Amino acid sequence: MAFPATNPTLARALTERDYLEATPVQLAVLKPESQGRDLLVSAQTGSGKTVAYGLAIAEDLLGDAEVMERAAAPLALVVAPTRELALQVHRELAWLYAGAKAKVVSCVGGMDPRRERRLLAEGAHIVVGTPGRLRDHIERKGLDVSQLKALVLDEADEMLDLGFREDLEEILKLTPRERRTLLFSATLPKVIVNLAREYQRDAFRIEVGAGVRAHADIEYRAMRVLPNEVDHAVVNLLRFYESPSALVFCNTREAVRHMHAALLERGFTVVALSGELSQNERTHALQSLRDGRARICVATDVAARGIDLPNLGLVVHAEIPNDAETLQHRSGRTGRAGKKGIAVLVVTQARRRRAERLLVDAGVQPTWCGPPTVEEIRKLDQERLMRDEVFSDESTDEDVSLARALLAERSAEEVAAALVRMYRQRLPSPEDVVDPGHGRSESRPVRAERAERPSWQERNAAAAPARSEGFEKPRSPSPARSAGGPRGAGVWFHIDIGRKNNADPKWLLPMICKRGKVSRDQIGAIRIFDKETKFEVTADAAEAFAVAMMHPGKETKAGQADLNFTRLDQSAPVAAPSKFNKKKREPFGDPKPGDAERTKFRKEQA
C-alpha cells in the first residue's frame, strides 16, 4: 500500500530511496487516530519502524514547513539500547530529513564525548543515542532537553533487559511533561506496559502482526551436518547462495574467531564482530560491509544487535541460538522491509532435538536439507558465469583489438577455457561434504549413491555371517572375498580416533577411501573403540593404500592430514570392542549407529 499523505520533503526522500509501499507499522502510525498522540507500538525488528517513527514525529518537528529553521536546542530525542542500533537510526533519520536540512547528531558509548558535545553546542534538531551516554550529556549540561517536542524509545524491552531502566527513567523525568512520547518494543510485557502508563499520556496502542512470530519474508532452512563438517557446510552455503551480504552467527567470541579464520583461509572477504572489539574496530568492519570491501560478517548476538546491512540476503546460524527470541532476532537481520531473505540453521545429530524444539517455539516450519554439494555449486557457478556483467559491459576499441589478437594466437576454445579458469580462481573452492540424514525422511534426500544403497537392516543381515560381535561398518561382504578370490584375507590398519571423537562409519568410510585412494568395495570391517578405530583393507589394495597414507595428496584437508594411520602387522581379525563401562551408566551390548552422539547429547542435557 502506498504511503499516506505526509510532509512533501519526506515524501520526496522516500521516493528517492524507492520506498513505494508502506509497511504495516508505517501505515499504523500515520493513521488519523494516531496523529499527535503518544504511541505504544509492538513491532518486530525489520518491520520498518525507524522510518515509521521518523514519519510520525514529522508533524511535531516541521508542522506545515518543508525546511527546518536553524538548529538550536534539540526538538526530538531517540533512545536506543545499543551503539550499533543508535548509529543505524542516525543514518536512517539523516537521509529521511536531509531535504528538510535537519541536523541529526548521535551520542553513543565508545565515541569521543568531546566531539559529541561540540556538535551539540553547534545545534541539533534530532539527537539519537544510548541511555548512559545521553544521561551523561544531560547531567553535564551538554544536552539541553528543555525544548523537546518528541521522545522515542526504540526497542524499549531490550533496554530494560540490558539494565538501562534507571537511566531511562532519569531521562524521562528531565524532559518536558508536554512532550509527545513514542515507545516501540518487539514485545509488550507487563514491565513495558507499566513504564508506558507512568510516563505516557493516554497512549494509543498499536500491535503489528500480533500472533505472527516468524517473519513472513524469511525462508527458513534446517541443514543436517556431521559434527566435523560444520565449517565446510558453512563454506558451501555461502558459495551456494552467493548473497551480496551475509551474516554468520556464533554463540561465543572464540567461535567467532575460529569461523572468521576458517572463512578467511578459504578466500572469502569477511569481517568479525564481537564484544571484544573496540568501537572503532566495529565501525571499520561495518563500513567494509556497506561499501562492498567485505561480503560476510561473522558475529555474536550482542555485536549484531541493530545491524542493518544493504542487500543482506542470507543469515546462517552456525551454532544453534539459546532461545526462540534470539533465533528470530538473528534471522530478522534479513527479510527486512518487504525484501526476501533466507535463514539457515546448521544442525548436527546431537543438536537435532534441541533445534526442533527451538523451531516449534519460534513458530517456524523449516525445510530440512543436507549441505549443498560440490556438483550443485559448480552448476550454479556455470549459470552465474553466463550472466556475469563482464559479458554485458560495453567493449572499447582496445578491448576488441586485444580480443582479435588473442583469437589469432589461440583457438576460441582455449580463450574460453582461460576465462573459466580466471572466473573460478576468484571464487573460494566448495568443500566435499556429506548429508548425514539423521535417520529421518526429509524433503531433500541424501546423496544419490547413499539413497540407492540397501537399508541398514538389509546390509546388517547380509554381512552377519562375516562379522564378529564388534561395531563394524554395516555392509555386504565383497564378492571376491566371499568366494575366496585373489584379494586374500585382508590387512588391518589403525587410526587414532574413536568413539570419544564421535567416530562414525558414515564419515569415516568416505574419508578413508579418499585418503587411501581406494573404493568402498576394497574396505572391509570397521571397528570403533573408545580412542581408536581399526579397519580392514583387501590384500590386493593394502600396499598402495599404505603408500597413499604415508603421502597424502594436496586435496587432503588440514584436519585429515593430522590423523595418524598405522598398519597392523597381523592380518588376523581384530578383537571386538570391549563392553561399555557400567560405572559410566552407559548401555551394555554392541553400540548402535549414533550411540556416541546420543550419549554426548544426554550428558550435555544433564
Give the closest residue to 323 by CA, choosing from 368, 365, 355: 355
The CB-side HSE value for 346 (13 A sphere, CA atoms) comes to: 25
Q: pLDDT value at position 471?
A: 37
Say how far apart CA 370 and CA 48 lie, in whole Å: 33
How many angstroms separate the Cα of 276 from the Cα of each of 194, 282, 472?
Answer: 35, 10, 46
- Find the angle CA(77)-CA(10)-CA(91) to the nearest 5 degrees: 50
Q: Is 400 exposed, middle or buried (0-12, 13-18, 19+ CB in 10 A)?
A: exposed
> Does CATH number 3.30.1330.200 belong to domain 218-372?
no
The DSSP secondary-structure symbol of 152 reads E
At 291-301, the pLDDT tens digits run 888 999 999 88
CB 239 within 8 A of CB 310: no
Beta strands 533-537 and 491-495: pairing type? antiparallel
Q: Per the structure block, which three cell numbers stand in for 529?
A: 573403540
Report the SS3 class of residue 346. Answer: strand
Say how far apart CA 445 and CA 237 lie, in whole Å: 17
pTM of structure: 0.52
Q: Which helix (H) or strand (E) holds 205?
A: strand 204-207
Number of neighbours of residue 150 by Cβ within 10 angstroms: 23
- Tell me the torsion sign for CA atoms 174, 177, 181, 187: positive
List strands edge to edge, sheet with 565-567: 523-528, 533-537, 491-495, 565-567
The DSSP secondary-structure symbol of 319 reads S
CATH architecture label of 8-207: 3-Layer(aba) Sandwich (3.40)
Give the closest residue to 30 by CA, choosing from 47, 63, 53: 53
Domains 8-207 and 218-372 share a fold: yes
Give the closest residue to 244 by CA, choosing from 358, 111, 176, 339: 339
Give the closest residue to 288 by CA, choosing from 301, 270, 265, 267: 270
**534 beta partners:** 494, 527
The residues spanned by each domain of the chain are: 8-207, 218-372, 384-392+402-425, 455-596
Instruction: Kindly give the parts of the chain with pLDDT less than 70.
Output: 1-2, 5, 44-46, 209-216, 302-306, 337-338, 438-489, 551-562, 569-606
